[in-house]
């Protein structure tokens, strides 16, 4: 990361497996910077190809060499806030936190404070800075209404390693979710491209020109009218699980955006989106050994399942939470 007052120059190469795509999307993926910030840099003329300014919507293909100039970071105006943030695993490179539902991950318009980043700053640590001054240590995100596991990098090297693992799909992210109805297959895979909904720009949708999106699922438990699923994210698009399950007619219980009627209300006692990032598996940045971390369902979701278990059901409950490291 560049020192304060010094612009950083990043030389980027579009990988063969990424195909042709918009320049702003390619740069965001390669750098870990937000797409909105990348677009701002491009508008200011900070992205070039052989000295020629590149437009945000310009298509760039495999092997394209781009130069991005990142200006010095603005003075950090974020304040530490003593927000409870359970840490379920840590080593010299990484923290894994169990984010509660309702907590925004990092500052954004409308959320200048009260975020997970504010809680991290209250720990008095320095985190990886390659994702930008307002995203210290941030490697990936969860929706505000989703609870569960998030990796936080303590160093630039760790942040780069974890971001590279995510890009190469070597991080395994598994969720627990309660879906409306009864899925016919006990094991399934949803492959449908996701992009911005052309009719409702604040939503995502399955659209022909969307980005490749793949979700796998396994039935963990069946109830009358509902199915508890274990879901694997092969890709990591915005609202991916929510969009994919809604697209096949089984929206997530309590989803205020993609569900309607009884599915949106959820079973008795549900007061939030029933989606929890339950398990993470990744390679430790320092030596590559496998780290596997589980986080139990929050009490409010377990209580909903306990009520459903009062009736007929099939299947088994998810195993107990655990934290471990494993040789690769």
Which residue reads 């934290």 in tokens? 323
Selection from 151, 17, 162 nearest residue 89 by Cα: 151
DSSP code at position 3: P
Selection from 255, 208, 214 nearest residue 236 by Cα: 214
> Which residue in the list 98, 143, 145, 255 is annotated as catalytic?
143
Report the C-alpha gap between 236 and 28 in whole angstroms: 14
CB 284 within 8 A of CB 93: yes
Report the C-alpha gap between 328 and 325 in whole angstroms: 9
Determine whether 299 is an active site residue. no
| Total Cβ atoms within 10 A of residue 276 | 24
CB 189 within 8 A of CB 215: yes
Helix 35-43 crosses helix 23-31 at what angle (to 10 degrees)? 120
CB 243 within 8 A of CB 194: yes
Give the C-alpha distances (Å, rounded to integers) separating 16 from 148, 192, 302: 33, 22, 44
First to last CA, the chain: 30
Residues with catalytic annotation?
143
């Amino acid at each position: 990361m560049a020192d304060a007052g010094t612009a950083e120059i990043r030389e980027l190469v579009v990988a063969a497996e990424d195909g042709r795509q918009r320049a702003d999307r390619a740069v965001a993926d390669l750098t870990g910077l937000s797409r909105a910030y990348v677009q701002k840099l491009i508008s200011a003329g900070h992205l070039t190809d052989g000295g020629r300014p590149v437009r945000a919507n310009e298509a760039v293909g495999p092997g394209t060499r781009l130069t991005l100039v990142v200006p010095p970071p603005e003075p950090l105006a974020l304040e530490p806030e003593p927000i409870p943030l359970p840490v379920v695993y840590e080593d010299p490179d990484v923290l894994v936190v169990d984010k509660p539902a309702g907590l925004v991950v990092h500052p954004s318009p409308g959320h200048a404070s009260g975020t997970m980043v504010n809680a991290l700053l209250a720990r008095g640590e320095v985190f990886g800075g390659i994702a930008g001054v307002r995203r210290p240590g941030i490697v990936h995100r969860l929706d505000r209404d989703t609870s569960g596991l998030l990796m936080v990098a303590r160093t630039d090297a760790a942040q780069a390693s974890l971001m590279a693992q995510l890009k190469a799909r070597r991080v395994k992210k598994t969720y627990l979710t309660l879906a409306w109805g009864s899925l016919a297959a006990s094991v399934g895979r949803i492959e449908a491209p996701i992009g911005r909904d052309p009719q409702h720009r604040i939503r995502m949708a399955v659209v022909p020109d969307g980005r490749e999106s793949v979700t796998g699922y396994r039935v963990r438990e069946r109830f009358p009218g509902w199915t508890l699923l274990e879901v694997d994210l092969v890709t990591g698009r915005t609202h991916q699980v929510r969009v994919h399950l809604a697209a096949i007619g089984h929206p997530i219980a309590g989803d205020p955006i993609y569900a309607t009627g009884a599915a949106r209300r959820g079973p008795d006692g549900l007061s939030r989106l029933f989606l929890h990032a339950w398990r993470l598996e990744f390679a430790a940045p320092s030596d590559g050994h496998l780290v596997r971390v589980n986080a139990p369902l929050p009490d409010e979701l377990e209580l909903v399942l306990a009520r459903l278990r009062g009736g007929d059901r099939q299947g088994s409950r998810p195993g107990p939470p655990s934290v471990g490291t494993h040789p690769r």
